[in-house]
Amino acid sequence: MDHAVATELIESTWDKSITPSLIDYIRIPNKSPAFDPDWKKNGYMDEAVTLISDWCRANAIDDMALEVIQLEGRTPLIYIDVPGVGEDCVVLYGHLDKQPEMVGWHEGLGPWSPVLDGDRLYGRGGADDGYSAFASLTAIRAVRAAGGQHARCVVIIEACEESGSFDLPHYIDYLQDRIGTPSLVICLDSGCGNYDQLWCTTSLRGIVAGNLEVRVLDEGVHSGDASGIVPSSFRILRQLLDRIDDSTTGTILLDALQVAIPSQRLRQAEVVAQVLGEAVHDKFPWRGDMRPAATGTEAVLNRSWRPALSVIGMEGLPALQDAGNVLRPMTTIKLSLRIPPMVDAEVASQALKSALEHDPPSGADVRFVAEKGAAGWNAPPLEAWLEEACESASNTHFGKGAVWMGEGGTIPFMGMLGEKFPQAQFMVTGVLGPASNAHGPNEFLHIPCAKRLTACVAQVLDAHYRHGVTAGR
């Protein structure tokens, strides 16, 4: 490949076409089904699918086939098939559904109000993960324009990832004969430790979530009359959470949620800590004198290979201005428990439910209702050709070598595809770097990083083809 030609095409396409299209995409409030149960009636998801599929058709590659598929009762999926050389196959994955608004956006910014400020495009969904379809198709085009070769490429853009990808297995089963057996999967929905080099994800944590409800009364009563006799539902919640994690350190206390961290992942975490230094923890918007729970290698491992509990929602408490002197009858909280790779989500969910519900304090009515969990993922052993291709691509387009890092989030697609295609290699990467704040306020896409990442994907596609030739595929 002529990398200069590829870079020029990618830069031009991003500036003239992709960035303007992403600005239009950000304006669409196509929240994932878990956050918009009326998504079909509201029509935003269809609007986003139309925007992206229309762009792909307008920028079609020779002999490319694009189809918007919608199975009965499920979110739509964009399926693109680009013929290549030989019998091999690459799957490129992304998603177009979005997280909800979230509060705390800076003045002048908002989830559905795109703002291009220098290198950053602010707004919900640009980096997570609206850019993926545009980048995938542009990378394939760049390979051809630069004189390279690629195997057949299948691009899959789903609309349910932020809800746990519960529709995706049905589509993969429906399309399995058409997809075939890929030898490489490229996922563009992950993170990066900085914007200065290619970051490849080696593992992902899973997730178990659910609602924990504590009831102590059938109705609220005067706090002056009941306090000291009726235990507070909030105090019982505190006792129950103490069964799950150490309130001082955050260490999870359930044995079923622990794993032995593989030695290779330990070594990679040490490298990540050396590369990032204090940026491992400094990237967060700390308040005042707040300090991190861990630093260096321990911080890297905490966010990638150790379980952690967060309370992400609460019901049963009135707003401050409405809070009378009432001992409330119940409190409900939503728990989000990140689980390490290689921990079964069903086992973790059952362990959480058992720990919370058995022998309730003061005989309170305690119920934990689990939501559908998602397993984590640990990449298969990395083949030399892919490691060399990523290293070369990173040096070519970023001027620095690639870094391999475990991520703390969940991409349900990876675990599922890892089971269906155990022989495949995985390049899992993305543009969610420092302060990009996916799911939160002030989310942004770092455009120069996205351009270079697109070029890296193109170079890896060409390397994959050449490796296939050497391997006789």
Cβ contact 263:180 at 8 Å: no
pLDDT digits (tens, 9 = 90+) for 15-57: 999 999 999 999 999 999 999 999 999 999 999 999 999 999 9
How far is it, in rounded angstroms, from Cα 24 to Cα 29? 11
How far is it, in rounded angstroms, from Cα 162 to Cα 411? 9
Per the omega criterion (within 30 degrees of 0), is the bond before 129 cis?
A: yes
How far is it, in rounded angstroms, from Cα 135 to Cα 94? 10
Per-residue pLDDT of the chain (473 residues; tens, 9 = 90+): 999 999 999 999 999 999 999 999 999 999 999 999 999 999 999 999 999 999 999 999 999 999 999 999 999 999 999 999 988 999 999 999 999 999 999 999 999 999 999 999 999 999 999 999 999 999 999 999 999 999 999 999 999 999 989 999 999 999 999 999 999 999 999 999 999 999 999 999 999 999 999 999 999 999 999 999 999 999 999 999 999 999 999 999 999 999 999 999 999 999 999 999 999 999 898 999 999 999 999 999 999 999 999 999 999 999 999 999 999 999 999 999 999 999 999 999 999 999 999 999 999 999 999 987 888 999 999 999 999 999 999 999 999 999 999 999 888 878 888 888 888 999 999 999 999 999 999 999 999 999 999 999 999 999 999 998 777 66
Residue 471 pLDDT: 73
Across-strand partners of 148? none
Residue 419 pLDDT: 84
Residue 263 sits at φ, ψ, to 5 deg, of -60, -35
Domains of the chain plus CATH, in order, are 3-204+377-471 (3.40.630.10), 206-259+305-370 (3.30.70.360)
SS3 246: coil
SS3 232: coil
Residue 468 pLDDT: 84
Residue 373 pLDDT: 86
DSSP state letter for 410: -
SS3 457: helix
Cβ contact 453:225 at 8 Å: no
Residue 472 pLDDT: 65
Residue 469 pLDDT: 77
Residue 186 sits at φ, ψ, to 5 deg, of -115, 120
Beta-carbon contacts of residue 48 (< 8 Å; ≥ 6 apart): 25, 28, 30, 96, 97, 130, 159
pLDDT digits (tens, 9 = 90+) for 155-167: 999 999 999 899 9
Cα distance from N-terminal residue to C-terminal residue, the chain: 20
The tokens for 190 are 């992950």
